[in-house]
Structure formats: structure tokens, C-alpha cells
Amino acid sequence: MARRLQGKVAIVTASTQGIGFAIAQRFGLEGAAVVVSSRKQKNVDEAVEKLKNQGIEVMGIVCHVSNPQQRKELIDKTVKKYGHIDVVVSNAAANPTVDNILDTKEETLDKLWEINVKASILLLQAAAPYLSKGSSVILISSIGGYHPRATMAMYGVTKTALFGLTKALASEMSPDTRVNCIAPGFVPTHFADFLVKNETIRKLIEDQTLLKRLGTAGDMAATAAFLASEDASYITGETIVVAGGMPSRL
């Protein structure tokens, strides 16, 4: 594997399983020191163990992305140990309802906004003073941001917001920091269990792709590693759809 991220320090939120874990793993295998985090200490410990066993330089920190103290600790401990930050991947999201938007309770709307959008902004506010020249921010959105589906409509709208946030932050954080976004298609992680464990729905989704398969966490990690690396040094403010050719945008 290429060592494109040698010497870089990368924070990945919600990274003890699924897409976040795969990104941390890929970054680590490409030479980065990675900081993994999620809400549960046990999950953090297990992720750290797995990555260490692959020879990856890793630190684990408990961080619920909407907890201000834990966000601060994530940044502070990273800077204390490594001195600076080169890559931030904001990957955490919640999808707490299948209700229509007009039926969604206010507290659920707040939670969706808080975890899926606001926490990314606040994390980047905290990280900004320590971001190196040439650093890279990656927001994890969703194909659903282009076409919010009926059962996950408001979740989709928060993911649409990340496309705008990517453009706005790319401008605000230039020229020293690039800001890009990944819109994954369907990946069989715990998050997507309710969709892909149903054979009929799974087949339906596969048929909507041109490549006739679901995505893998590794597909998303490969794209994140590219965006974090110097190979993407002239790319900012962009969203890359990694969805096997599912309909998204021109």
C-alpha cells in the first residue's frame, strides 16, 4: 500500500466501526498517526487494539460529537500528543426516525441538526487553530443528500446541508486547508442494517447501482485517503459520490 499519509496526524470521528473505522485503518496503513473516537469506551479500546495489531500509530478517545467537553478533549489530547492536526474526518451521524418531515418531533429535528451538521462545525472551530498548512477536512455526507428518501427524509436534508457546508468552509478555510465531502451510497454497516438486511430492499438497492453491488467501507476509505493525500492537493470544495453509479447529480 502507498504511504501517502506518512507523518500526518488524522482525527476521524465515529471511527470505532463501519466507515469511520475503515477510514482510520486506511489512513494508518498509509502512514498516518490516527485518533479514533466514539461514544463508548469499550468500542474505543477494541478499535485501538485492532489498529495497534496492524502496526498503526493510534490513540483512542471517547467523544460523543455533540458533547462539548469531549470534543475539546479530542482536540486537546491530539495536539498534546502530536503537536498539530493534518486531517479531520467528520463522520458521525444519527438517523433516529423514519417519520415524514412534517411528522418529525422538534427534539428529533434538533438531534439531527446537532449531530449531523452542528457538531461538525463546532469540532472544526476547535480544530482550526491547530490545522497545519496543507491540511484536509473531509465531511461524510450521503447519496441521500441528493435525493432524500421517504423513510430517511430529514436525515437526507441534513446530508444536503453538508454539501453547502463543504463549499462554504472550503472558501473560508482556503488556502491552507482543503475541505471536501464524500457522499457514500449504501454500505452494509450497522447503520444501514435496517435496509440491507432485508433481501428485497437489498436487491432493489443493488439494482439501482450501475456496478450491481453495495459499497464497502473500504471503498469509502480509499476515497478519503485520496482526498487527505497530496494526490488531491488541487481539489477543494468538492463532493465525491462513491455509490457505484447510483443516480445522484450530473
Rounded least distance, CB 169 to ligand NAP, Å: 17
- Can 234 be counted among the known catalytic residues? no
**CA distances from residue 111 to 40, 66, 150, 155, 169 in whole angstroms, order as listed:** 19, 9, 19, 10, 22
According to CB under 6 A, which one of 10, 11, 12, 14 is a site residue for ligand NAP?
14
Q: Which of residues 48-67 bind ligand NAP (CB under 6 A)?
A: 63-65
Stretch that binds ligand NAP, among 72-80, 81-89, 184-192, 228-236 (CB under 6 A): 184-192
- Please tell me whether residue 97 binds ligand NAP under the rule CB under 6 A: no
Q: Which of residues 192-211 bind ligand NAP (CB under 6 A)?
A: 192
- Please tell me whether residue 113 binds ligand NAP under the rule CB under 6 A: no
Output the CA torsion sign for 234, 239, 243, 244.
negative
Q: Which residue is nearest to ligand NAP (CB)?
A: 18
| Three-state secondary structure string covering 124-191 | HHHHHHHEEEEEEEEEECCHHHCCCCHHHHHHHHHHHHHHHHHHHHHHHHCCCEEEEEEEECCCCCHH
CA distance 51 to 20: 13
Catalytic (active-site) positions: 155
Query: Residues in the site for ligand NAP, rule: CB under 6 A?
Result: 13-14, 16-20, 38-40, 43, 63-65, 91-93, 115, 140, 142, 184, 186-187, 189-192
